[in-house]
Amino acid sequence: MTPMTKIPFATAVLGMIATVAIGADHIDPAVGAAIKARQSHMQLFAFNLGTLGGMAQGKIEYDADAAQIAASNLDALASVDFHPYFVVGSSSADASDTRALPAIWEDPEGVLAALAKLQGATAEMAGSAGGGLEGLQAAMSALGGACGACHQAYRAPAN
Amino acid sequence: MSFSAWSALLAAVALLAVVLLKPDPLANTFFEGLAGDADRGALVFAAAGCASCHTAPGAEPSETPVLTGGRRFASPFGTFAAPNISSGPQGLGNWSDIDIANAILLGEGLNRTHLYPALPYSAYRNMTRQDAADLIAYLRTLPPANTPNQPHDVGFPFNIRLGIGVWKVFFNRGDWILETVQSPEMERGRYLVEVLGHCGECHTPRGILGGLDRSRWLAGAPNPAGQGQIPNITPGKLGWSTEEIVEFLSTGFTPEFDTAGGQMAEVIAGLARLPQSDLEAIAAYLKAVPALD
């Protein structure tokens, strides 16, 4: 190897080492922020579901106003545009603190269809939660089904 | 003994083994005096989780599931392909009621072949005759599918079906895990968990020959599909209240409002169709099994 070719070669090797080192120790801050944001969004779902589920199970006394607020919140949460949360490079194959399967990026139509199901279920809940406990309980199944179906297809098992 | 005497003895033993290990079918009078009710059978079907294995891969839950088969289930013994059990000729269309009952209750296919215990007949064997009749009546109302069955991908020696006869001697026992139950609700719960729901098939660990380790009943097991762990659902680990268990089984929501994933989501799609009293019975049973860490 001549000195003239050694320099680009060495630069390339150093570049590779740097890439590997960064990949191992740090994830792109934008990726980390997106993962955190979408997990927080899921927490907001869980928080509002807690009100509805507590009433459905009889742990909390049924209150039409509180039920309606929680159901409307869920409906609003489901209507958010999720695209910015799922930046490329933030799957469970890229980062350790997420269970979002690469299938999300491989099958966007499937994800959107699952999201449409969720929106249908939250709309149904928003239409019935304030009208009585029985309607609320009946709407829980479809809602659980919509959450579960998407998790089944697009989320890695725990641990 | 001479060589030919040894050979004769060996041949006799082999013949005896073949005869003993061939399955014995149900008597033709098994369903005598019973009429299957398809509406009731729909609930047996839901509790037994048939759709979660026998619908096509990725199929949506449906009121009239098409039991096309084709899902593949990995195990340490090979990969099993769920067969077409639709009402069409590629499925069970040409099977008699007794043929179907032989498969579900005894793990016996047509022409006295053993079926692999990927079909949980060691749980289903205690299905009541009425439930079996109702289930079969319901299966016949479901739409046909014309997809041919895929072969299993099972290597030697597990591809020798006669070996399943040996497996059945050891592991297809038919006695209850929870021997005594105090109330009709508990009895119903035991029937739903140990028989129809076949919960132990995933939630109980297996030994090297694939038999369930009954001393670790429902104490959790590695996921045969590779990733993750099937949870321990005995009172040793599962701290949920009866109401929380019922909520989970009817909606898939955990007490933290996370959801069931993987195969459990499909199990719940079936269980959600059962009456509340059945889900309460399952919860009562789960509270009563030995607590294991």
Predicted confidence (pLDDT) at residue A139 exceeds the cutoff of 80:
yes
Q: Do B272 and A147 touch (CB under 8 A)?
A: no
Q: What is the mean pLDDT of residues B183-195?
A: 98
> Would you state the structure tokens that stand for residue A5, as one six-digit string?
């070719």
Average confidence score pLDDT of chain A:
87
So what's the pLDDT on residue A12? 54
Which chain B residues touch A149 with a CB distance below 8 Å? 60, 265
So what's the pLDDT on residue A13? 54
Give the CATH number, domain containing residue B138. Answer: 1.10.760.10
Cα dihedral sign for B127, B131, B134, B135? negative
So what's the pLDDT on residue A6? 57
CA gap B44, A28 in Å, rounded: 51
So what's the pLDDT on residue B7? 77
Region at B27 (left for phi over 0; alpha for psi -120 to 50; beta for the rest): beta
Of A46, A149, A155, the CB nearest to B256: A46
Say whether both B253 and B123 belong to one domain: no
Say whether both B234 and B123 belong to one domain: no
**φ, ψ of residue B163 in degrees (nearest 5):** -60, -30
Expressed as residue numbers, the domain containing B82 is 24-171
CA gap B29, B101 in Å, rounded: 12
Q: How far is B190 from chain A (nearest CA, A)?
A: 23
Q: What share of chain B is helix, strand, coil (3-state, %, to 5)?
A: 45, 5, 50
pLDDT confidence band for B274 (50 / 70 / 90): very high
Predicted confidence (pLDDT) at residue A24 exceeds the cutoff of 50:
no
> What total number of domains does chain B contain?
2
Q: Which residues are CB-neighbours of A157 under 8 A, at least 6 positions away?
A: A99, B223, B227, B228, B229, B261, B262
Say whether both B29 and B163 belong to one domain: yes
Say whether both B206 and B165 belong to one domain: no
So what's the pLDDT on residue A4? 53
CA gap A122, A76 in Å, rounded: 9
pLDDT digits 0-9 by tens, A32-81 = 999 999 999 999 999 999 999 999 988 899 999 999 999 999 999 999 99
CA gap B213, B201 in Å, rounded: 10
Which chain B residues touch A159 with a CB distance below 8 Å? 228-229
Predicted confidence (pLDDT) at residue B166 exceeds the cutoff of 90:
no
Give which of B106, B136, B107, B126 is closest to B31, Cα–Cα.
B136
CA gap B73, B153 in Å, rounded: 10
Average confidence score pLDDT of chain B:
91
Say whether both B242 and B278 belong to one domain: yes
Say whether both B163 and B200 belong to one domain: no
Helix then strand count (H, E) for chain B reads 12, 4
So what's the pLDDT on residue B101? 97
So what's the pLDDT on residue B159? 86
Q: Domain A29-154 class? A: mainly alpha
Say whether both B205 and B250 belong to one domain: yes
So what's the pLDDT on residue A153? 87
Say whether both B188 and B167 belong to one domain: no
pLDDT digits 0-9 by tens, B210-244 = 899 999 999 999 988 777 789 999 999 999 999 99
- Kindly state whether residue B179 falls inside one of the protein's structural domains: no
More confident residue, A135 or B8: A135
Enclosing H/E stretch for B29: none
> Would you state the structure tokens that stand for residue A13, as one six-digit string?
């090797």
Burial class (CB within 10 angstroms; exposed 0-12, middle 13-18, buried 19+) of B198: buried
Instruction: List residues in chain A touching B: CB distance below 8 A.
Output: 45-47, 49-50, 53, 56-59, 140-141, 143-145, 147-149, 151-153, 155-159
| B157 cis-preceded (ω within 30 degrees of 0) | yes
Q: How far is B58 from chain A (nearest CA, A)?
A: 9
Separation of first and last alpha carbons in chain A: 49
Say whether both B153 and B205 belong to one domain: no
So what's the pLDDT on residue A116? 96
On whether the CB atoms of residues B199 and B210 are closer than 8 A, the answer is: no
CA gap A155, A112 in Å, rounded: 15
CA gap A122, B160 in Å, rounded: 51
Which chain B residues touch A56 with a CB distance below 8 Å? 247, 251
- Chain B, nearest residue to A149 by Cα: B265
More confident residue, B107 or B224: B107
More confident residue, A102 or B210: A102
CA gap B136, B151 in Å, rounded: 24
Say whether both B40 and B85 belong to one domain: yes
